[in-house]
Structure 1
């Protein structure tokens, strides 16, 4: 199953959240300095890119429904767990298979989206703690993954893998409210979209895509297999970054696309736009790296920087966030309970400045996501689990 994750937001409250599993209970921990991935327009002027104005961090991903909030400066080279300030967990929270996370520093709200179960965006207060009911919930299509707020426009963007679509909702939408507009169709270049950024400074929507595409059709007893006899088979393309006007709607072509063998994109997950330095950072799950491109790059453009190698401790990255105030880059790992903090301009096989741990270093990570069956092989004494 696809693995995903999250964001970085900021203000006098720069917040990062890390996802993990805690006895299979949905949890949002609130600690000091964990970050995973997707971002939100962060300052009051909300003109896109990371504009940190505070000292807390946040992230998310489709591991187990566990979340923690922490101070930006927390974390070190210790192998011990980083203690959270507080956590959101329990049945009342309605958190399930949490993927994207984003924050609203103006209204002091945290947004999460349930990806493979739940099919809803849930919103909490910055001060939420324990088994709290969401402030509101918005029902979204199955396999929704990424979130991004455009505070100046009062809008929320949500990517949906299964439909190859980006839906734009009102910021305060709840219940069965329909999106204001949807980017969807064969011409959009959306192929299993994950990360998303609404860049208000440049009036653009930036999306990362895995590259898998298929035409979604209903398949109930009442729906013929092929309504118009024009079925288009699915395909596997290279991962990409696609960019659209912020007001785009329908089956629109992207303004530009970064895609090709020189890009090194490989299962692109969470992304962040650094509008201050005109760069895009991408969590590259397929080869345990973080790629940085010029914001206006297009075609088969090579990254201008790449953080990659054993010294980086990057393993299964699903979220990335640029903190321009502190000149740092945060990376959320799916593979080992950690968030890593690098200098913003780091490149190559460099060690992180700090490590935030959601569990002790020796804690095992099974990597299960939606394991739905099991079989026992008595001859070999093995349990087989499709993931």
Structure 2
């Protein structure tokens, strides 16, 4: 599927040109999974506008578990969980595409979400299901050691409290890293957000945390999104099979109540795999039905919503080809559109 440059007059005819595409990393048990692209005007049971994958050899994309967009180079960092690599693709990649570069490391293990600090040219990654490792942003090939590593909390003498971290973001305003995790006390699980200085190394204690009953972080954090324009963190949390979205100021600390909470039966969230923020529409997107659910869907909610609200956008159905939507990121469009990607209906 091809893309081409369009003239300014044609661009003006498409209102969607200023709105983001949504990329979905699809986990497929027993087979490599693709990254699916849905356009800004697609809703309902629609086929993806495009998709990309890589097959064969050492560069095969196996599990696009998490996606991170880098706007300066217009690329997407794909955390290939079972491939044990970070693969970097053009944001408009389509078809069987080769990554620009691939990062592997014996310290990377099975990577989860990554975050980008462009000011310091660093890539921060949840590595080995336990730790936060920092690599040069342009790292490629096999890198023996990260620049820094915040270690697992289970090591004797460690104060990090890192247990099973999944998501992270770099907060430029405070030069901190926020990490979602789960803690256990007397056999009871609870979600927590841990904050570290970006330059932390070794086994330091978090500089602050968000945790406690008032936070509504539930049993665990199923997704984390960040809207730096508004200085807010958004956590998708689960408790006894029920999910909610809670929002905090990025400076919040302790057992603090959310600024807003989206919760109730109308959300329609089941076994979610990820959440992301789309600045072009001021919406939060949730990948629902990622794990053992037949109701796979991409759901959108207004960032400022509160209470029991239904999604304002829902992409679901057999035409979507989604089998296990886990990775999720919004990618702003440039001055190009897919020529043959407009499906009827």
TM-score by length of 1: 0.68
C-alpha RMSD of the superposition: 2.9
Q: Mind listing any 5+ residue stretches in structure 1 that lack a counterpart? A: 1-10, 27-64, 214-233, 368-387
Distance 1:66 1:285 in 2: 27
Distance 2:78 2:238 in 1: 21
Correspondence for 2:100: 135
Q: Mind listing any 5+ residue stretches in structure 2 that lack a counterpart? A: 1-16, 153-157, 326-345
**1:235 CA drift (Å):** 7.2
Distance 1:245 1:202 in 2: 8
Contact 1:18 1:358 in 2 (8 A): no
Distance 2:64 2:322 in 1: 20
Correspondence for 1:249: 201
Correspondence for 1:207: 179
**1:192 CA drift (Å):** 0.5
Find the partner of 2:314 among 343, 348, 355: 355
Correspondence for 2:122: 155
Distance 2:49 2:318 in 1: 11
Correspondence for 2:36: 68
3-state SS of 1:210 partner: strand
**1:347 CA drift (Å):** 1.5
Correspondence for 1:3: none
From the two aligned structures, give the one with the greater strand fraction. Answer: 2
Task: Identify if the C-alpha distance between structure 1 residues 179 and 135 changes in structure 2 by more than 3 Å, giving closer, same or farther.
Answer: same
**1:161 CA drift (Å):** 5.2
**1:15 CA drift (Å):** 4.5
Task: Identify if the C-alpha distance between structure 1 residues 236 and 311 changes in structure 2 by more than 3 Å, giving closer, same or farther.
Answer: closer
Distance 1:24 1:13 in 2: 34
Number of residue pairs the alignment of both structures matches: 293
**1:94 CA drift (Å):** 1.5
Task: Identify if the C-alpha distance between structure 1 residues 13 and 139 changes in structure 2 by more than 3 Å, giving closer, same or farther.
Answer: farther
Contact 1:94 1:134 in 2 (8 A): no
Correspondence for 2:72: 106
3-state SS of 1:173 partner: coil
Find the partner of 2:274 among 319, 326, 335: 319
Task: Say whether residues 1:283 and 2:251 are aligned partners.
Answer: no
Find the partner of 1:332 among 287, 306, 309: 287
TM-score by length of 2: 0.76
Correspondence for 1:18: 24
Task: Identify if the C-alpha distance between structure 1 residues 366 and 90 changes in structure 2 by more than 3 Å, giving closer, same or farther.
Answer: closer
Distance 2:257 2:118 in 1: 32
Distance 2:30 2:94 in 1: 18
Distance 1:347 1:285 in 2: 17
3-state SS of 1:346 partner: coil
Find the partner of 1:187 among 135, 159, 172: 159
Distance 2:274 2:41 in 1: 18
**1:197 CA drift (Å):** 0.2
